[in-house]
Amino acid sequence: MDIEEFRKAGYQAIDRICDYYASFQDRPVVSQVQPGYLVDALPSDPPEDAEDFNEIADDFQKLILPGITNWQHPNFFAYFPTAGSFEGILGDLYASSVSNPGFNWLSSPACTELEQVVMDWCAKLLGLGDHFLNKNGVGGGVIQTTASEAAIVVCAAARARYVREHPDAKLEDLVIYTTTQTHSLGVKAGLVLGLAVRALEVTPEDEFSLRGETLRLALAEDLAQGKRPFITIGTVGTTSSGAVDNLEEIGEVLKERPSIWLHVDAAWAGVAMACPEYRAFGKLEPINRYATSYGTNFHKWGLVNFDASMLWVRNRRDLTDALDVTPEFLRTKQHDSGLVIDYRNWHLGLGRRFRSLKVWFVLRRYGVEGFRTHIREGIALNEYLVSLIRASPSFELVTTPSLALSVFRLVLPASPALASGEDALTAHNELNRAFHRRVEGASDKIFLTQTVLNGTFCIRFAVGAQRTRREHIDQAWEVIRSNASTVTEEWVKSRISV
Amino acid sequence: MDIEEFRKAGYQAIDRICDYYASFQDRPVVSQVQPGYLVDALPSDPPEDAEDFNEIADDFQKLILPGITNWQHPNFFAYFPTAGSFEGILGDLYASSVSNPGFNWLSSPACTELEQVVMDWCAKLLGLGDHFLNKNGVGGGVIQTTASEAAIVVCAAARARYVREHPDAKLEDLVIYTTTQTHSLGVKAGLVLGLAVRALEVTPEDEFSLRGETLRLALAEDLAQGKRPFITIGTVGTTSSGAVDNLEEIGEVLKERPSIWLHVDAAWAGVAMACPEYRAFGKLEPINRYATSYGTNFHKWGLVNFDASMLWVRNRRDLTDALDVTPEFLRTKQHDSGLVIDYRNWHLGLGRRFRSLKVWFVLRRYGVEGFRTHIREGIALNEYLVSLIRASPSFELVTTPSLALSVFRLVLPASPALASGEDALTAHNELNRAFHRRVEGASDKIFLTQTVLNGTFCIRFAVGAQRTRREHIDQAWEVIRSNASTVTEEWVKSRISV
């Protein structure tokens, strides 16, 4: 493809992307295709001869778009939102035009330096302490691919630091602490690193927040058995219910044990700390006081296209001591002189994309105030949903709403009474699983996902897509309400007929 | 930014990318900025208020582009090429317009299924055996971020498999085998996983290729000491010199030890196997016969924008048994029914970008024949460079040229004679380090990188950027030749004056 063909294909792509964003009202939220739809539609071999790009671009519309679940759809309330902003798309576009592997400063100085700068911008936006800034030369921030990879990085760094300090420690005795509510990133880090993971218990009474006393008891128990807990992963805003661990208490317990790394994962909720009024909720103060590392994903609620998982560490040498690879063929005079950051030693891969550009575009085009407005709108919309749930006798909140996330379920009808010996929770879960299956059937209109909280099956409702407005909450509520009526009626009927 | 503002900014971006690609003759190959140039130029805080996008876009031109090392420049011969094709840029653009985290089939069925299909296309393009195809349901292919991450994945899977089969194995005894020429991915996997790495010796006599006998002796030695080698990483096309391990011999040795995983990394050279005439050189037959996993980066020489690191495994369950995470909130009926691939369990992260799209665009727009033509042109250009080196009395090849990579050095002048007791290799290396420093000084014109092969300092010359033509080899040769003359003259003069 020559330059003029690219110009034509590029304009066409831009126009079609505009059409796509203008047409959400005509698109299902969740792709309605069946497994195998595309495998069956495509030839099993690559073409021998070059094809015309118009045909390829048309196939994107015909074959790919129907297989896309539209995460930017205003009626998308599943999982957590995945940001997709025009600013982010433009950032990706410019970045891929200067494609480079970015493994050292010289690969493209702009990539390293812009990442240094925007990570400091993000730290300041969120109120992180100066010790997390790149500018201070001791701590610093780096963009990771995902929060799971960030967790692997910090677990590897924590393990390396622990083993340096305790040369007699056996890998078999090392333990990663999480809670039962920690995102799968905890389990995954354990699987990848081959280390034990202990999920500490949390309770509904504590709103699924890890307490210091639980941690203290686990430590005492494990240490007595010769185990070596070396990292605790705390969460601000769990995936299931937006729970926030009690980082003040955790920090106080770990203060006595400086060999244990404290990583705080705020993958979803962290960006809310852009708004000063949510910093107490988000535990900013104990994060700044106690956390060895802290991460949040701007690619979720933070307006930056996937992927942009931000990780800050108190001491960058913890990363480079664990991960530095500098063979001869990667040496540069700038690296040798210690003048520059070579980010390859701060993450798992060698190569890395130019991700800071889209962050820079977003932060500049929105400004701090615009970013805060976006966060506040999401929370206000969730508050509106909560008011609808609270006003309805058919529903109940399972946990206190967390920022832009609500977890709720259908109320168990008072009659007919349960059969004698029937477990109320089991029956209640059955009703709600039936409800969820029905709402899945309306996945062209809204997308909601489920979770289980200490045995209780519930529905999650996560707001935060950039285009969601009050009318979309109303539409969602109508789908939820009408399906709930049907399911409850059917449930009652089936029990009476039994 | 609304839709019409995006359209305007998008057109502008396309136009400016066209200008960028049309202007390489006016751009330095390597960015000429000094460390700190951008950190110093940007404000240390994000802007409070929204900025106009025109200003932001202009700043990309003014502040970012001068800090870009132009890997797509036709005079870029350092490291290995990083592909950047217009087809790849368009693929990235469409992909980021439907941004989604892709962690399960339902996230966007098209993303999973297109990856299944293009990974089979790539396998067929390269001549890989049917057992590596997704279609067969046992093996399969997945796009990883980088070859380093692919290595972590296969080491984690190999370790998990080994430990399942040998429950008594201690992690401390496990060993990853590489050679002294293996890319830093071997060391990095060891660092991340906390496992020992043993770099087996290779010799200049064997052109830095690992021999079966070396492996056999190392195994005997380690096993006798209670060590547990559990994976061997072989290479087709090492970074330093394009060396190819003797996979026939390695495969025969490992046949006796089926617990040891054989991963073959052909990050750079693998795409050359698109051309049938290079399949014997690339060890396709033993790869198909013996390799447990195989990887190559289409983002290097393979025309696909970074990142697109392809990994195939003989048995996908080796990956999922090691890495499966499926908490309740990630369950889908399609996953539960076993109908679909959930690629999150084939790699390190949870989320993943829609990378197959750019691969699909490239393979269709080039066709198999166009792809082969691109590879053959790179090799022909390197052969042309080799003819220049061979014809010059000032230079010598250090190793046999490998596909599109040559490793050479300046010949040590015959007079003045070395001082008595002076080591010839040390002197020769000094001369070549001086030569490399001088060529670094011409980094606006060409970019070459160095390596050290068993103590011998040499210069690498890697062809393969899409826009490189014979005239660019001529320009590069002129820079090399003239700097070599100057350096040799200075070297001779300094020795006479001493």
* DSSP character string of B413-425: PSSSPPPTT--HH
Q: Does the pLDDT value for residue B497 go beyond 80?
A: no
Q: Which fold has domain A369-497?
A: Aspartate Aminotransferase, domain 1 (3.90.1150)
Q: Which residue has the tokens 């653009």?
A: B93
Say whether A350 and B148 touch across the interface (CB within 8 A): yes
Q: How confident is the prediction for chain B on average, in pLDDT?
A: 96
Q: Which fold has domain B3-68?
A: dopa decarboxylase, N-terminal domain (1.20.1340)
Domain ranges in chain A are 3-68, 100-354, 369-497
Range list of H helices, B183-246: 185-193, 212-224
Rounded Cα gap, residues A470 and B81, in angstroms: 50
3-state secondary structure of B277: helix
- Burial profile A274-307: b = 16 or more Cβ within 10 angstroms, e = fewer: bbeebbebbbbebbbebbbbbbbbbbbbbbbbbb
Q: How confident is the model at residue B498 (pLDDT cuts 50, 70, 90)?
A: low
Q: How far is B408 from chain A (nearest CA, A)?
A: 14
For the record, the structure tokens of A83 come out as 């940001």
In Å, how far are A123, A210, A242 from A213, measured between CA atoms?
30, 9, 21
Rounded Cα gap, residues A96 and A92, in angstroms: 6
Q: How confident is the model at residue B246 (pLDDT cuts 50, 70, 90)?
A: very high
Say whether A31 and B108 touch across the interface (CB within 8 A): yes
Q: How confident is the prediction for chain A on average, in pLDDT?
A: 96
Rounded Cα gap, residues A373 and B368, in angstroms: 50
**Closest to A392 in 3D by CA, of A493, A487, A477:** A477
Rounded Cα gap, residues A466 and B289, in angstroms: 51
Considering only alpha carbons, which residue of chain B is nearest residue A149?
B349
Q: How confident is the model at residue B198 (pLDDT cuts 50, 70, 90)?
A: very high
pLDDT in tens, A68-104: 999 999 999 999 999 999 999 999 999 999 999 999 9
Q: Which of residues 173-202 of B touch A (CB under 8 A)?
A: 183-185, 187-188, 191-194
- The amino acid occupying position A188 is K
Same fold, A100-354 and A369-497: no
Considering only alpha carbons, which residue of chain B is nearest residue A13?
B94
- The amino acid occupying position A230 is F
3-state secondary structure of B410: strand
DSSP string, B48-115: SS---HHHHHHHIIIIIGGG---TTSTTB-SSS-----HHHHHHHHHHHHT-----SGGG-HHHHHHH
Cβ-Cβ contacts under 8 Å for B298 (sequence gap 6 or more) = B83, B122, B271, B304, B308, B309, B310, B359, B362
B406 touches chain A (CB under 8 A): no
Considering only alpha carbons, which residue of chain A is nearest residue B453?
A328
Q: Does the pLDDT value for residue A176 go beyond 70?
A: yes
A9 touches chain B (CB under 8 A): yes
Q: Residue A271 CB: number of other CB atoms within 10 A?
A: 32
In Å, how far are B31, B40, B186 from B34, measured between CA atoms?
9, 11, 32
Which long-range contacts link B314-319 to residues 24+ away (Cβ below 8 Å)? B314/B131, B314/B132, B314/B138, B314/B139, B315/B138, B315/B139, B316/B138, B316/B139, B316/B140, B316/B346, B318/B157, B318/B158, B318/B160, B318/B161, B318/B261, B318/B292, B319/B142, B319/B153, B319/B157, B319/B345, B319/B346
Residues B156, B322: contact at Cβ < 8 Å?
Answer: yes
Please state which of the four CATH numbers 3.20.20.70, 3.40.50.150, 3.40.1390.10, 3.40.640.10 is assigned to the domain occupying B100-354: 3.40.640.10
Q: How confident is the model at residue A370 (pLDDT cuts 50, 70, 90)?
A: very high
pLDDT in tens, A304-361: 999 999 999 999 999 999 999 887 777 788 877 778 899 999 999 999 999 999 999 9
**Closest to B467 in 3D by CA, of B121, B27, B118, B33:** B27
Q: How confident is the model at residue A460 (pLDDT cuts 50, 70, 90)?
A: very high
Considering only alpha carbons, which residue of chain B is nearest residue A67?
B110
Cβ-Cβ contacts under 8 Å for A364 (sequence gap 6 or more) = B46, B47, B50, B51, B55, B56
How big is the CA angle at B66 (ends B183 and A359), to the nearest 5 degrees?
75
Cβ burial of A455 (10 Å; 0-12, 13-18, 19+) is exposed
Residues in A touching B7 (Cβ below 8 Å): 14-15, 18
pLDDT in tens, B91-128: 999 999 999 999 999 999 999 999 999 999 999 999 99
Per the document, the length of chain B is: 498
Domain B371-497 class, CATH top level: alpha beta
Residues B319, B139: contact at Cβ < 8 Å?
Answer: no
Residues in B touching A188 (Cβ below 8 Å): 323, 325, 348, 350
For the record, the structure tokens of B162 come out as 């080994």
What mean pLDDT is predicted for residues B230-237?
98
